[in-house]
Structures are given as C-alpha cells and as structure tokens.
Amino acid sequence: MSYKIEQNLETCIGCGSCSAVCSANWEMKEDGKAHPIKTVVEELSCNKQAEEICPVQCIKVIAQK
C-alpha cells in the first residue's frame, strides 16, 4: 500500500500546524506556505495527523493500490 499526499496550495493559510505535527514530510517554505517533501509515501507515518490538524482541510491523504 502506498499513499498519495495531495494539498491545495491556494487554500493553505500557512498556519504551520502540519509541519508541527509532521516535520518528517511537511516543511514551511519562503512563500509562507507548507509543502510536502514527498507526494507519494509507502508509510502513512504522520501524514494522517497533518491531514486531520489542517484547519482549512487542504491536505488529503489518498490510499493507493
């Protein structure tokens, strides 16, 4: 099982919550927004917490076959 990590960058308000709970795959960039380090991961890891904590629901974790 792998997981696709999607983010609507336009919706991101740059709150930093995702990188706070999941610095392994989310980092804040110079544009003031968060960006995923990897967009396809083999392990869900903390990406689910990032999805859940995002106040504007712009992160989606999608299970792939």
Distances (CA, A) of 60 to 14, 27, 30, 31, 52: 16, 16, 22, 21, 9
Q: CB-wise, 17 or 25, nearer to ligand SF4? A: 17
Residue 37 in the binding site for ligand SF4 (CB under 6 A): no
What is the smallest separation between the CB atom of 33 and ligand SF4, expressed in angstroms? Answer: 6
Among 5, 18, 25, 47, binds ligand SF4 (CB under 6 A): 18
Residue 32 in the binding site for ligand SF4 (CB under 6 A): no
Question: Residues near 23 by Cβ (< 8 Å), separated by ≥ 6?
Answer: none
